[in-house]
Amino acid sequence: MSDTDPIGGVVLAAGRSTRFGEANKLLEPLRGTPLVSHTANTAVDSALDEVAVVVGHESEAVVDAVSSFDLPTRYNEAYSQGQSTSVRTGVEFAREAGWEAAVFLLGDMPFVRPGTVDRLLAAYRAGDGSIVAPRYDGKRGNPVLFDRRHFDALADVDGDRGGRELVMEHDGTRFVDVDDPGVLRDIDSEADLRTYANDAE
C-alpha cells in the first residue's frame, strides 16, 4: 500500500428504520437538513478519495437528500434483508472502483466528525491495522475502515450484522481512541434525535 492508493467511503442509507416508526429517519430534519445529508457531509469533508451512497428504502427521496454532494449511488435490491446486503453492495462498488480500503459510514449516525474519519485513515496508512475502528470512552464505535483483503469476508456476512463480528474477532483490528461522542450516537428513535441534537449544539 502507498499513500496514493485510494480509500473510499460508503454511506449505508438503504434501511427501513423500522424502530423509528412510520417515518424514514434518514429523511428527518436535523438543523434543517435531512439526517442522512449530515453523514454524507462528514464523508465528503474528510480526506476520503471518493464517496458512494447505498440506497434502498425510499431510494428516490434519499438520493434527493444527498443530491447536493453529487455522489455516485448504488441501489440495494435486497435492503429488506438487513444491513449486510448494503455492505455487500458497497463492497461491489469498492472493488469496481479499485479502492485499497473502504470506510463504512452508517446513514443514521450524523454526528461523526470528518476529523474522526481522518484519524482512521491515518492509522491505516501508518500500518496500524487492516481493520480500524474508533473508540470513545472505552466503547467501540463507527464508522469502520476495512482493507480490501476483508472484502470477501464482508460480502459473506448475512442478516443485519454488518461487519461487527469481523471487527471484534479479527486479530488485525486496531482501535483508535477519539474525542468524538458521535461515533456512538446512532439514531433509533425520535427521542434519540432530540437528545443528541440538543447535546451537539
Per-residue pLDDT tens, the chain, 201 aa: give them. Answer: 556 789 999 999 998 766 676 789 999 999 899 999 999 999 999 999 999 999 999 999 999 999 999 999 999 999 989 889 999 999 999 999 999 999 999 999 999 999 999 999 999 999 989 999 999 999 999 999 999 999 999 998 876 666 778 888 888 999 999 999 999 999 988 888 888 877 665
| Domain span at 141 | 7-200
Q: Does residue 21 belong to any structural domain of this protein?
A: yes
Which single residue is written with the C-alpha cell 437528545?
Answer: 195
Angle at 141 (CA atoms; ends 59, 152), nearest 5 degrees: 65
Summarised one tens digit per residue, pLDDT across range 113-152 is: 999 999 999 999 999 899 999 999 999 999 999 999 999 9
Cβ pair 54, 125 in contact under 8 A:
no
Angle at 201 (CA atoms; ends 61, 189), nearest 5 degrees: 50
Could you tell me the pTM of the whole model? 0.93
Helix 114-125 and helix 35-45, axial crossing angle in degrees, nearest 10: 40
Q: Does residue 30 belong to any structural domain of this protein?
A: yes
Q: Does residue 156 belong to any structural domain of this protein?
A: yes
Q: Quick one: what percent of the chain has pLDDT higher than 90? A: 73
Give the span between the Cα atoms of 185 and 108, in whole angstroms: 9
- Pick from 7, 8, 11, 9: nearest CA to 109: 11
C-alpha cell at 112: 461523526
Q: Does residue 2 belong to any structural domain of this protein?
A: no
Q: Does residue 144 belong to any structural domain of this protein?
A: yes
Instruction: Give me the CATH number covering residue 186.
Output: 3.90.550.10
Q: What's the pLDDT at 85?
A: 93
Q: What's the pLDDT at 20?
A: 73
Number of domains in the chain: 1
Q: Does residue 1 belong to any structural domain of this protein?
A: no
For residue 29, give the 3-state DSSP assignment.
strand
Cβ pair 120, 143 in contact under 8 A:
yes
Q: What's the pLDDT at 159?
A: 65
DSSP summary character for residue 170:
-
Q: Is 49 exposed, middle or buried (0-12, 13-18, 19+ CB in 10 A)?
A: middle
Q: Does residue 84 belong to any structural domain of this protein?
A: yes
